[in-house]
């Protein structure tokens, strides 16, 4: 068995220091990504108005619906790679890496075709207002034409993070963020291109970050090096990746589908509601920073330690990650609660837009601790190779119950407050389900 380098190993050292040092670059990367997503909305809202802001902001759930499945497969690949890396099995790690790269290339082509063809019809199903429809169609079609960039970026980042390298993705994301903001200002502010300029800026900047990640993977001398000649499907590795990634992909897609339905309910309240809730979604993204950081760090930490046979270390790391994520998310939630009016006004100063954004913040922000707990528990299950439980909990709580609740209540009340409450209510239910599962399972739970 070929021995891998010790660089990137999370199987040694003080647990909290190793997780924190690994999660911090992920946090900073997520921060920069959120900043440039926010910059999109700020520039669009201030230069082009609430109609364009509604078109750009409301596209988030739809894009996640279509790419969430692929990202779930990439998560499964990351767990497979992390286990082989932890076990110092470079041969099988190479096979897994080149299989997921091949999968990403094939998926990029499929995503481009599906996204471009289905965008208009899906927007119709979402009850997108006629005034917003033209901008939404243009933005999303251009966005999906750049599928190669965002799909392969996620694949390459998954490989790097699986082997404990969270620094290089941060560097490349900073570069792409700067490119994105500069191009936004040039296309929209100088050349007055409209929402298509924002879409082109986003797609191009994501392609740049993907190319930079690929160069890093091709130039490294470590056993996780990518060689273009070796890119092919390996049946055994593809089966492992799908076994661990398919439930995560299904979970992402189902939750995103539920959110698309929620967005359709928001759309039914008009353009101002779309713009206000869209602005809040950008603000809310900052609360997701610690959640995403630990959700991405925990599967790698747990996967590497399981691969090395260090089950108790994996369990201790899981407990630290869950607690840290919950505390940080709640602190950010309280800050958003206090500053919601000013934060919403930064995107669009129309009083009605601000009102919608503030109402949404005051309903959701106090409960970000529940959101963090559910995401962290799902990450732990992915890392230990048991993603089906997470998929079932999220599917039932965040999809079936959330959609059923809105389908029953909104036609009767026509009150957008119930749309807001659908989120914390289902976060609470999923948190209870995860807590009960681990309370019952812990006596037999060994991470084996």
**Structural domain boundaries of the chain?**
15-441
Per the CB < 8 A criterion, the answer to whether 427 and 255 are in contact is: no
**Res 429: pLDDT:** 96
Mean pLDDT, contiguous 10-residue spans, the chain (448 residues):
50 90 86 72 69 65 69 82 90 93 92 85 74 79 87 91 89 88 84 81 90 94 92 90 84 78 83 83 80 86 89 91 92 91 83 88 92 92 86 91 91 90 94 88 49
List for the chain the helix, strand, coil content (%; round to 5).
Answer: 85, 0, 15
pTM given for the model: 0.78
The pLDDT of residue 444: 40
Q: Where do the H-state alpha helices sit in 185-234?
A: 195-219
pLDDT attached to residue 58 = 61
Q: What is the pLDDT of residue 28?
A: 87
Computed from CA positions of residues 167, 173, 179, 182, in that sequence, does the dihedral angle turn out positive or negative?
negative
Cβ pair 71, 296 in contact under 8 A: no
Query: How much is the pLDDT for 448?
Result: 44
The DSSP output letter for 187 is I
Confidence at residue 132, expressed as pLDDT on a 0 to 100 scale: 74
Residue 56: name the closest of 180, 174, 164, 165 by CA. 180
Query: What pLDDT is stored for residue 5 in this prediction?
Result: 42
**What is the predicted pLDDT for the residue at 228?**
92
């Amino acid at each position: 068995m070929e021995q891998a380098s010790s660089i990137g190993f999370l199987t040694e050292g003080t647990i909290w220091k190793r997780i924190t040092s690994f999660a911090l670059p992920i946090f900073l990367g997520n921060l920069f990504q959120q900043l440039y997503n926010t910059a999109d909305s700020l520039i669009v809202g201030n230069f082009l108005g609430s109609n364009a802001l509604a078109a750009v902001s409301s596209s988030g759930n739809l894009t996640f619906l279509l790419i969430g499945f692929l990202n779930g497969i990439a998560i499964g690949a990351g767990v497979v790679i992390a286990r082989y890396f932890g076990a110092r099995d470079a041969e099988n790690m190479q096979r897994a890496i080149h299989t997921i790269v091949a999968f990403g290339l094939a998926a990029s082509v499929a995503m481009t075709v599906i996204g471009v063809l289905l965008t208009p019809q899906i927007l119709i199903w979402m009850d997108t207002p006629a005034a917003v429809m033209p901008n939404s169609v243009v933005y999303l079609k251009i966005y999906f034409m750049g599928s190669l960039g965002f799909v392969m970026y996620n694949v390459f980042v998954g490989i790097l993070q699986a082997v404990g390298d969270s620094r290089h993705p941060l560097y490349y994301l900073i570069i792409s963020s700067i490119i994105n903001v500069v191009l936004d200002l040039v296309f929209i502010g100088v050349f007055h291109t409209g929402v298509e300029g924002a879409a082109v800026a986003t797609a191009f900047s994501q392609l740049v970050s993907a190319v930079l990640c690929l160069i890093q993977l091709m130039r490294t001398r470590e056993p996780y090096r990518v060689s273009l000649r070796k890119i092919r499907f390996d049946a055994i590795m593809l089966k492992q990746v799908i076994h661990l990634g398919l439930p995560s992909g299904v979970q992402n897609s189902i939750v995103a589908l539920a959110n698309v339905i929620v967005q359709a309910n928001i759309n039914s309240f008009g353009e101002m509601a779309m713009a206000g809730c869209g602005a809040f979604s950008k603000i809310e993204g900052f609360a997701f920073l610690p959640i995403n950081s630990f959700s991405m760090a925990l599967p790698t930490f747990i996967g590497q330690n399981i691969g090395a046979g260090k089950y108790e270390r994996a369990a201790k790391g899981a407990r630290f990650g869950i607690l840290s994520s919950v505390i940080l998310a709640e602190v950010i939630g309280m800050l958003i609660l206090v500053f919601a009016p000013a934060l919403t006004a930064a995107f669009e100063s129309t009083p009605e837009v601000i009102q919608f954004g503030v109402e949404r913040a005051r309903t959701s922000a106090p409960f970000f601790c529940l959101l963090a707990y559910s995401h962290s528990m799902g990450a732990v299950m992915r890392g230990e190779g048991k993603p089906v439980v997470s998929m079932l909990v999220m599917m039932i709580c965040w999809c079936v119950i959330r959609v059923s609740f809105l389908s029953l209540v909104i036609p009767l009340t026509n009150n957008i407050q119930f749309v807001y409450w659908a989120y914390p209510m289902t976060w609470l239910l999923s948190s209870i389900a995860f807590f009960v599962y681990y309370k019952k399972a812990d006596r037999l739970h060994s991470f084996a």
